[in-house]
A and B are shown apart, each in its own frame.
Chain A
């Protein structure tokens, strides 16, 4: 009993270290982090029983006492670790196994790559459901307002697709408050030049550069290449 208590206490410490540094690995991380207090509790049980039996039989209580002390310390530290790294690891596991995370679902080669579990929902990367006109899964419905034609050599400067220019409230008294007079029909859309085909998101993030293989330097930009951004799939590719 005493030896078992020592072994369990030491194993709890080993699990604790593993849980602290491998918490991001799905299933294994939370298993280690939550397993540490469980092992320590088992060590406390065997240590207490060991001391009790040793006292009844007149044996030495040293190993059981050592195991009990190691297990108590391991439990207290392991519980703190389970509250932090354990729950964080459970979060990583849940994010990696979540069926509604399109980034994880589409990225079959990196199914358990949870370093950036919520990269697909980062600001500016909201996924658009449904197939688009091109039939690709990443394309969404057409925008409410067509983007204005761009002159060759110009760069879009805003993240949001720009619609008609804001119009001041109409001074026409025949219109109801809040209504604006009908705008003239848009001009014939012109094909943007290759220089202007950069997505608005990219232009809004000048630091995000594309690597030679099609990937960007920042790991936050991975979903763009996996189809989370329709502009990138439909135009840039």
Chain B
């Protein structure tokens, strides 16, 4: 863990540079560049895609913070607690970013399935880097563990599982798989997106068993319930597009 990357001194003022913020910026930069490079290969206007990525990032950040405030509001009974701690929830970002991307693509007349296919490898890579930021920040850790995988986190008694690193490794692998499947699943557009939805849902559903999250229904956490819905949506998307390809 290395929450503070450094200290920036501006005359009499000093500002800390947090590792999480730097990793978040790096993640968005890497994800946007991967998406733009993919857009050029998919015969989409890369500058239009840059504009759409910016719209999606704005919607994603807003959605992730909104879901974090909502979760904290439900958990503590007051939205003010969310301002005291601060945080982001990925699924909120995914929903907000997808909604913003859909609206932007409709306005700019960019085919949404092709755009989604182009965006998912970059999204997985950005998410993997963001989880490394979580690890450096010391948040999103897992259950207590006395095994060799357990690690000490600041403010936590005993050793806990570094689930951020597990998820990061899984997302890097998923990014590689998506990049490899980009050509075979090129037509019809949208199958790569369905593949990402289903794969990440499985990964997150499994990892949630190793994390300390409140169970809200039938022993499942909120993220697991969203993962179930996302898995079904991804499978339907994949099968329907595959059916169109076969016909």
- The answer to whether A and B assemble together is yes
Measured CB to CB, the residues of A under 8 A from B are 20-21, 37-38, 41-42, 44-49, 51-52, 55, 68, 72, 75-77, 79-85, 87, 90-91, 93-94, 97-98
Question: In the assembled complex, which residues on chain A have CB atoms less than 8 Å from the CB atom of B18?
Answer: 80, 83-84
Closest 9 CB pairs of A and B: A48-B51, A83-B21, A44-B54, A80-B21, A48-B50, A87-B86, A94-B83, A52-B47, A51-B47
A38 touching B13, Cβ below 8 Å? no
Most chain A beta-carbon contacts within 10 A, residue among B17, B18, B21, B108: B21
A83 touching B55, Cβ below 8 Å? no
B47 touching A48, Cβ below 8 Å? yes
Please, could you name 27 A-B residue pairs with CB atoms under 8 Å apart, sorted by A?
A20-B10, A20-B13, A21-B13, A41-B54, A41-B57, A45-B55, A46-B51, A47-B50, A48-B47, A48-B51, A49-B48, A49-B51, A52-B45, A52-B51, A68-B50, A77-B25, A79-B21, A80-B18, A80-B22, A80-B25, A82-B21, A83-B86, A84-B16, A84-B17, A90-B86, A91-B86, A94-B80
Question: In the assembled complex, which residues on chain B have CB atoms less than 8 Å from the CB atom of A20?
Answer: 10, 13, 15
CA distance A203 to B17 in the complex (A): 40
B16 touching A52, Cβ below 8 Å? no
CA distance A87 to B54 in the complex (A): 22
Task: Give, as a whole number of angstroms, the nearest-CB distance from A77 to chain B.
Answer: 8
Given A44-B51, A68-B50, the answer on whether A91 and B25 have CB atoms closer than 8 Å is: no
Most chain A beta-carbon contacts within 10 A, residue among B18, B25, B28, B83: B83
Query: Which residue of A44, A46, A84 contacts B21 across the interface (Cβ within 8 Å)?
Result: A84
Q: How large is the interface on B (under 10, 10 to 19, 20 to 34, 35 or more residues)?
A: 20 to 34
Q: In the complex, what residue of chain B is closest to A1 when comparing beta carbons?
A: B51
Question: In the assembled complex, which residues on chain B have CB atoms less than 8 Å from the CB atom of A38?
Answer: 58
Q: Does B200 contact A (CB under 8 A)?
A: no
Q: In the complex, what residue of chain A is closest to B20 when comparing beta carbons?
A: A83
Given A20-B15, A87-B86, the answer on whether A48 and B58 have CB atoms closer than 8 Å is: no
Task: Give, as a whole number of angstroms, the nearest-CB distance from A231 to chain B.
Answer: 30
Question: In the assembled complex, which residues on chain A have CB atoms less than 8 Å from the CB atom of B52?
Answer: 48
CA distance A38 to B123 in the complex (A): 20
Task: Give, as a whole number of angstroms, the nearest-CB distance from B183 to chain A.
Answer: 26
Given A87-B86, A94-B84, the answer on whether A48 and B54 have CB atoms closer than 8 Å is: yes
Q: In the complex, what residue of chain A is closest to B13 when comparing beta carbons?
A: A21
Q: Is the interface of A mostly helix, strand, loop or mixed?
A: helix
Q: Does B29 contact A (CB under 8 A)?
A: yes
Question: In the assembled complex, which residues on chain A have CB atoms less than 8 Å from the CB atom of B220?
Answer: none
Q: Does B143 contact A (CB under 8 A)?
A: no
Given A38-B58, A90-B86, the answer on whether A83 and B24 have CB atoms closer than 8 Å is: yes
Interface string of B2-35 (1 = CB under 8 A from A): 0000000010010111101110110011000000
CA distance A83 to B53 in the complex (A): 20
A90 touching B83, Cβ below 8 Å? yes
A91 touching B24, Cβ below 8 Å? no
Q: In the complex, what residue of chain B is closest to A89 when comparing beta carbons?
A: B83
Question: In the assembled complex, which residues on chain B have CB atoms less than 8 Å from the CB atom of A76?
Answer: 25, 28-29
Most chain B beta-carbon contacts within 10 A, residue among A46, A80, A97: A80
Q: In the complex, what residue of chain A is closest to B133 when comparing beta carbons?
A: A83
Question: In the assembled complex, which residues on chain A have CB atoms less than 8 Å from the CB atom of B13?
Answer: 20-21
Residues of B42-92 whose CB lies within 8 A of A: 45, 47-55, 57-58, 61, 80, 83-84, 86
Task: Give, as a whole number of angstroms, the nearest-CB distance from A96 to chain B.
Answer: 11
Question: In the assembled complex, which residues on chain A have CB atoms less than 8 Å from the CB atom of B22?
Answer: 80
CA distance A211 to B28 in the complex (A): 53
Interface string of B100-117 (1 = CB under 8 A from A): 000000001000000000
Q: In the complex, what residue of chain A is closest to B86 when comparing beta carbons?
A: A87
B84 touching A91, Cβ below 8 Å? yes
Question: In the assembled complex, which residues on chain A have CB atoms less than 8 Å from the CB atom of B53?
Answer: 44
Task: Give, as a whole number of angstroms, the nearest-CB distance from A190 to chain B.
Answer: 47
Q: In the complex, what residue of chain B is closest to A95 when comparing beta carbons?
A: B84
Question: In the assembled complex, which residues on chain B have CB atoms less than 8 Å from the CB atom of A83?
Answer: 18, 20-21, 24, 86
Question: In the assembled complex, which residues on chain A have CB atoms less than 8 Å from the CB atom of B21?
Answer: 79-84
Q: In the complex, what residue of chain B is closest to A50 when comparing beta carbons?
A: B47
CA distance A91 to B18 in the complex (A): 17
